[in-house]
Structure 1
Amino acid sequence: MGLAVVLALACVASACVGAGNGGTGEASPPSSSALPSGLASGGGLALEDLENNRTIKVGFSMDTLLEERWLRDLNLFKQAVEALGAEVSVMAANGDDAKQIEQAETLIGQGVDILVVVPHDAEAMAAIVGKAHSSGIKVMSYDRLIKNADVDLYVSFDNEEVGELQARAITKLVPKGKYVYIGGADTDNNAHLFKKGVFNVLQRRIDSGDITVVYDQWTKDWTPVNALANMREALSANGNKIDAVIAANDATAGSVIQALAEQGLAGQIPVAGQDAELAGVQRIVDGTQTMTVYKPIRSLADKAAELAVGLARGERAGASRKVNNGKTEVPSVLLPPIAVDRTNVEETIIADGFHTREDVFRTGE
């Protein structure tokens, strides 16, 4: 079967706020060199299906492409869909709910066979599911679950386990003391799952009085500048007397560590993150971040592509689990995350080629 690729990225950079890169709160649109082959701002790629066969069309509606994590997902998902002989149309709203809904409607209007969605707001994107279904298009939630809608399939990692891995790592080092929790965006269902997992582990120690959570706050839009403000507030409210911090991802962890550094505390207080972003892994090597949770994105992208194309062809997903999204039990495929610290970074992240040893240890600098 001939391959066809149609990609269109919609992003108004000036209206976008990223959530990565060292906790500065600043984000720039990814350069064309950072995007997959054939995808650049304002441009697209179209290859003719030389055999004129019916080609499955996958619509990929993404929250953002302003974070390292999501660029990886796009590259890997695109490659996997193409390898299955299908084509993919990509649109990214960069944190704008109205734009994401508009873009999803555009993809539906283009006649995609399945709509794959990374929602910015788990609730807001529910409306698009009904619109897709009325056009005979199935909907898959990618990594983040759409709430209160009849989603056909959810493919992600076990995000509750992500939080459990974070809390187990930190309580092993600090079984008693004052804890700070810096959450993700309240609008992101994954942020709630991460937090649930954390408190699954902490609650027994909280009940016994061994651990006191002295600060617990969401980070609006996952933005590092908001996480930085939260952590500064946590330190101020507690006279810098904090024993451990669990942050919802590596970008928020970067802001936590920036705030700690301002008080001369970086490296003295254990900090957990997740996503295995390069900056986070470098901080682990440097000793300012304790651990991260690695989610092998290639596994997620490959599985999601396989299931999306299969669903579009009318195949059964074979999901072994179900997750309640407030309206229905959504068939789900949940992959296992991996806790990573200084002791196993080489055998996990580096061995998988997720980051190079040179980048992690900065040996090329």
Structure 2
Amino acid sequence: MFALRVPAEYGGQGRDAVSTGIALEELARADLSVCYPVLNAALISGVLAANGTAEQLARWLPPIARGEAVRAALVESGTGLSAERTRRALEAHGIGPHDLAWIVVTHVHLDHAGGAGELARRFPSATVVVHPRGARHLADPERLTASARAVHGDLMDTVYGPMTPVEPQRIRAVEDGEEIDLGDRRLRVVHTPGHAPHHLVVRDDSTGVLFAGDAAGVRVDGMTSARPACPPPHFDRDATVAGMRRMAELKPNRLLLTHFGDPGDPAAFLDDAEQRLRRWCSVAERLAAGDEAELEAELLRRFAADESMPADDPERFAVMGGFASNAVGLRQWARSRTGREEVGTDALR
């Protein structure tokens, strides 16, 4: 039954939409729960047959025709406020409430994991994948959200939203090198601390695509380079550089930043991101004895124009990776190197 809409040359029946619909009606009349996965297979194979490349058709359609399990994964949940938009996007791609097997978060900052609990509620078959140091904050996000509110203030209500706890039995804490089974492929987890001590990236070994989270910086369309992402309280330059080099060693065919998208040639991008980060850190070390406002002003003076930041999108970037938050993180890092850093609020210890 899974082969209804798969073309005959890929092992299917090649049925049209009308005859497939009649078959699904009869199946639903007998058992609606059995009909649902067959319906999803028909929708997905129909879309693929109409729009896929030759390579995609050869990879996906034969296993669908054979009824083999293909398990969907979502990398990054987004914020709590974006959960409904994400659900609609998944639904538009034929992924229903019981079709999502994995929700992978690269770290537990609220723009990456804030929606994990709400999406887990809406997709009850999904397991949430996280670094071991972040797992407890998904199960009990109270300290994390309190700390975030102290930093972000009213943005918690307008940008991030609430963080729903994830049931502990649905959390999988993954070690470096572990794999996530999608049926027809595996995702490999690589720990990349630096931006945060609980950061990881995910590589699809079948395509060479690397989901980089914030490990190599952030950018918006139109920028000529990425901006370093150095948030408090745990930013670490040396660990970040080591993570970038480890990503380069994976030789990805494509790099995908959570903020936002494909920056182009992975090797060139990662090399540029490392050099840019080092320049920012040099400024922070020079001004470590000063205050955050002084460091922010110097970062703006030295680097803002160099980014070619689109003039019509300043607020978007101020929220996700502004000079102010980077100045706080860089100053804490620089002062910690000289033993002068005061202890601040920290929900991730």
User: Radius of gyration: which is bigger?
Assistant: 2
Q: Which has the higher contact order (CA 8 A, sep 6+)?
A: 1
Aligning the two structures, in what range does the TM-score lie when normalised by the shorter sequence?
under 0.3
More helix by share: 2
| TM-score, with length taken from structure 1 | 0.22
| TM-score, with length taken from structure 2 | 0.23
